[in-house]
Structure 1
Amino acid sequence: MFKESIAIALRALLANKLRSILTMLGIIIGVGAVIAMVSIGMGVREKIQSSIASLGSNMLIVTPGAASSQGVRSASGSSITLNLEDAEYIKKVIQGIDYVAPSVSRQYQIIAGNQNWTTTVYGITPEYMAIKSLTVGSGSFVSQQDINSRKRVAVIGATVAESLFGEMNPTGQNVRINNTPYQVIGVLDSKGQSSMGQDQDDIVLVPLTTAQERLLGITYINSISIQVTKVEEMDQVQGQVTNVLRQRHKISGNKEDDFTVRNLTSIMEMMTATTGTITLFLGCIGAISLLVGGIGIMNIMMVSVTERTREIGIRKALGARYRDIMLQFLIESVVIGVLGGIFGIMLGVAVAFAISAFGSLNTVISPVSILVPFAVSVAVGLFFGIYPARKAALLDPIEALRYE
């Protein structure tokens, strides 16, 4: 009987092709919208996570200036409350830290021969390489000896190397930064664009002391990057860094810190929760179409029951039971939900790929984002088919046979 009911359901749907397609359309659009919107939300979440992770794993970032202050705030990193001695002291006294990398930065025009390129020059220490997961393709990286002697040497990114030297190997060549010659001692391997669209290869790295004294003429630093050994110790180390810096800067009592310690793990957790909420919201918007599609199924099944009243009377007269009639009409509504779900999956996946290929957003399609809308579409077909099926099963066979 089950196979026969499926065959009857398919014949009934094929007998009214246009009506069946229009009924499925609500389910198709609903499932497609849920998949597309959830894929956008998951893509945004992955993009944010990748962006934060690209700054380094288990990272604390210390910047000068209070996290919140009254009045006009200066730009991030522009205060003068952090210095190299702060970074060295943190590395010396706090346990559970792998690397401490102080840095400064400013944009400069780089000149090589008759070529020039404007990029960001970073003053860094050797630990910067490990924290940022950099690798040198040719030559070498900045060494402690370069720091101690304030040497005019530079390590350049792949974009800078290509822009200034083309196909030639830049190692050993000279570039001019702020009208002063620097020897290129290494070229970094390409890292490509970050998740936020920034070119990670468009950088020039010089020794920190060289940048401070020969380029910028400053004694302070713009930031301190700290890599913690274990992620579960992030909060503990963050508290220790805060206490150490307060002691060094002679901040006591309720006085506001003149620095900010940011925990990238906490930021990532917060952003993940936020984007999860956004994804759920987008999915709920798409699910409204599924509800509308379910109402469409109920409507068309009610019409079908009315049209086939005499057929139902004949089936009952021939011995069809209550559950047989219920099963027949429930299968019809479920078939609509299943077919609508399948076509909706195809539509949603196609839209997600189109957004990723032609739009500025990356999309992520997971098995869950496909299976859940499909299961809901089947459930919608079943739920909204119960009332019409019950109405059909409760028809009096005598009255049904008399129906014109």
Structure 2
Amino acid sequence: MNGTNLLKIALRALANNKLRAFLTMLGIIIGVASVITMLAIGQGSKKSIQQQISEMGSNMIMIHPGADMRGGVRQDPSAMQTLKLADYEALRDETSFLSAISPNVSSSGQLIAGNNNYPASVNGVGTEYLDIRQLTVENGDMFTEADIQSSAKVCVIGKTIVDNLFPDGSDPVGKIIRFNKIPFRVVGVLKAKGYNSMGQDQDAVVLAPYTTVMKRLLAVTYLQGVFVSALTEDMTDYATDEISTILRRNHKLKASDNDDFTIRTQQELSTMLNSTTDLMTTLLACIAGISLVVGGIGIMNIMYVSVTERTREIGLRMSVGARGVDILSQFLIEAIMISITGGIIGVIIGCGASWIVKSVAHWPIYIQPWSVFLSFAVCTVTGVFFGWYPAKKAADLDPIEAIRYE
């Protein structure tokens, strides 16, 4: 019997039991839709993280006080005060692989303008911070080196701060805002950047001269970090080696001493976040894939029932010349058709669910073509694997016994 006839027989059998066929493929539909959605969310998050890191500058390097904390051991508070202004000045004056450098200190508190207030942090930075973080002043100007030298009470604010402190739409440049009772004059407004992939509002930012934050807000002589940019992404490793050499010299560390500072590159951050995202995506896809296994078991059970109900039909077909391989092929085709049809519906539902997640939750999604092809491949394998046993059982029936079956 040729393949066309077997396909017609399989289609006729499924058409005669539409509800049963739909209920059988329901597990496949749910499984495929879940896998497609989970992969789309995971890959979308990964691409969004990569884009955010690229926007931050792939050649950015972050230096923090204290030894590497990846071991999870709590350090003495004094270990977090190892970066000094002298370290920043040495890096600024002596390095040859850096294009920009900025200290970083931060103080949290309440911003007040008139009757409006907003909780925020004031970041003390240098003038090159905008270049390092790829920020742009949209209105007004960035504070100057003269402001840094005089510890001037000036600041540059983000769009979220503007919207909350000046809801009437007035121009904030030149206005006075208070932070922990200290007045700051707004000299500029940053161009809006929106939320990043980790849900952080990049516009809820206040920048001030680092000397102002250190002296007037925190009363400290140490830095909380230093941000730098390598000349190019390819020179990042050279830059980190140079930074390490200068800081170890400044801190008078012996060859046997561990670093009392931590250097992080954007490549390291990207690798870590991508690994975490890939792991979570794989776990979620595996959990969703359990539905495919459940759907496959459903196919096997329903096909087994179908073989039992159609025992006499099988016997009659064999008695008029149908071979065992014809019976086997017929039931396998039915199982595969159920799986593939369920897969098609599942892909459509999965794509729709992904679009809903993007539209309603504003979560980035990305549906890769290979995930769709993989779903169809898994559906085909599921149909063959779980349909084989009932199909083989049908093919092995004795024609005489099958005809006598009541």
RMSD: 3.0
In structure 1, the partner of 2:239 is: 237
- Give the Å deviation of 1:233: 3.6
1:54 touches 1:194 (CA, 8 Å); kept in 2?
Answer: no
In structure 2, the partner of 1:64 is: 65
- Give the Å deviation of 1:219: 2.9
Aligned with residue 225 of structure 2, among 194, 201, 223: 223
CA 33–100 in structure 1, closer or farther in 2 if over 3 Å, else same: same
Structure 1 range deviating more: 141-150 or 289-298:
141-150
Aligned with residue 258 of structure 2, among 234, 256, 259: 256
- Give the Å deviation of 1:351: 4.2
- Give the Å deviation of 1:364: 4.4
2:147 touches 2:209 (CA, 8 Å); kept in 1?
Answer: yes
In structure 2, the partner of 1:26 is: 27
- Name the amino acid aligned to 2:21: S
CA 214–78 in structure 1, closer or farther in 2 if over 3 Å, else same: farther
Verify: 1:100 aligned to 2:121, yes or no. Answer: no
- Give the Å deviation of 1:323: 3.9
1:102 touches 1:125 (CA, 8 Å); kept in 2?
Answer: yes
- Give the Å deviation of 1:322: 4.2
- Name the amino acid aligned to 1:9: A
Q: How many residue pairs get matched? A: 403
Aligned with residue 350 of structure 2, among 348, 351, 355: 348
In structure 2, the partner of 1:331 is: 333
In structure 1, the partner of 2:127 is: 126
- Give the Å deviation of 1:381: 0.6
Distance in 1 of aligned mates of 2:271 and 2:189? 35
- Name the amino acid aligned to 1:325: I
Verify: 1:151 aligned to 2:159, yes or no. Answer: no
Give the match's secondary structure for 1:29.
helix
In structure 2, the partner of 1:207 is: 209
CA 286–161 in structure 1, closer or farther in 2 if over 3 Å, else same: closer
Aligned runs of 1:156-171 on 2, under 5 Å? 156-165=157-166, 166-171=168-173
CA 71–24 in structure 1, closer or farther in 2 if over 3 Å, else same: closer
How big is each residue's C-alpha offset from its partner over 1:222-265, in whole Å with a ceiling of 9 and x where there is no partner? Answer: 11012223334433422321121010111113223322212332
Give the match's secondary structure for 1:109.
strand
How big is each residue's C-alpha offset from its partner over 1:18-60, in whole Å with a ceiling of 9 and x where there is no partner? Answer: 3222221222222233223334444554565566556542222
Distance in 1 of aligned mates of 2:119 and 2:76? 24
CA 366–218 in structure 1, closer or farther in 2 if over 3 Å, else same: same
How big is each residue's C-alpha offset from its partner over 1:37-89, in whole Å with a ceiling of 9 and x where there is no partner? Answer: 334444554565566556542222111222249985356x9933212332232
Distance in 1 of aligned mates of 2:72 and 2:284? 37
CA 384–240 in structure 1, closer or farther in 2 if over 3 Å, else same: same
How big is each residue's C-alpha offset from its partner over 1:130-172, in whole Å with a ceiling of 9 and x where there is no partner? Answer: 1111111111112333333443322111122222233111223
Verify: 1:292 aligned to 2:299, yes or no. Answer: no
CA 213–285 in structure 1, closer or farther in 2 if over 3 Å, else same: closer
Structure 1 range deviating more: 112-121 or 252-261:
112-121
- Give the Å deviation of 1:128: 0.5
- Give the Å deviation of 1:124: 1.3
In structure 2, the partner of 1:37 is: 38
Give the match's secondary structure for 1:324.
helix
Distance in 1 of aligned mates of 2:108 and 2:139? 24
- Give the Å deviation of 1:129: 0.4
Distance in 2 of aligned mates of 1:63 and 1:299? 60
Aligned with residue 387 of structure 1, among 383, 386, 389: 389
How big is each residue's C-alpha offset from its partner over 1:88-114, in whole Å with a ceiling of 9 and x where there is no partner? Answer: 322333333222111211124334344
Distance in 1 of aligned mates of 2:114 and 2:24? 70
Distance in 2 of aligned mates of 1:81 and 1:2? 77
CA 288–204 in structure 1, closer or farther in 2 if over 3 Å, else same: closer
How big is each residue's C-alpha offset from its partner over 1:350-387, in whole Å with a ceiling of 9 and x where there is no partner? Answer: 44455555669665443333332232012211222233
Percentage identity across aligned positions? 45
Give the match's secondary structure for 2:108.
strand
In structure 2, the partner of 1:275 is: 277
2:91 touches 2:246 (CA, 8 Å); kept in 1?
Answer: yes
- Name the amino acid aligned to 2:173: T
Structure 1 range deviating more: 315-324 or 98-107:
315-324
Aligned runs of 1:348-367 on 2, under 5 Å? 348-355=350-357, 364-367=366-369
2:120 touches 2:204 (CA, 8 Å); kept in 1?
Answer: yes
Distance in 2 of aligned mates of 1:78 and 1:361? 39
1:312 touches 1:400 (CA, 8 Å); kept in 2?
Answer: yes
Distance in 2 of aligned mates of 1:268 and 1:173? 39
Give the match's secondary structure for 2:80.
coil
TM-score, structure 2 as length reference? 0.87
Q: Which runs of 5+ in 2 are unaligned?
A: none
Distance in 2 of aligned mates of 1:378 and 1:114? 65
Distance in 1 of aligned mates of 2:185 and 2:271? 42
2:312 touches 2:404 (CA, 8 Å); kept in 1?
Answer: yes
CA 162–26 in structure 1, closer or farther in 2 if over 3 Å, else same: closer
- Name the amino acid aligned to 1:306: T
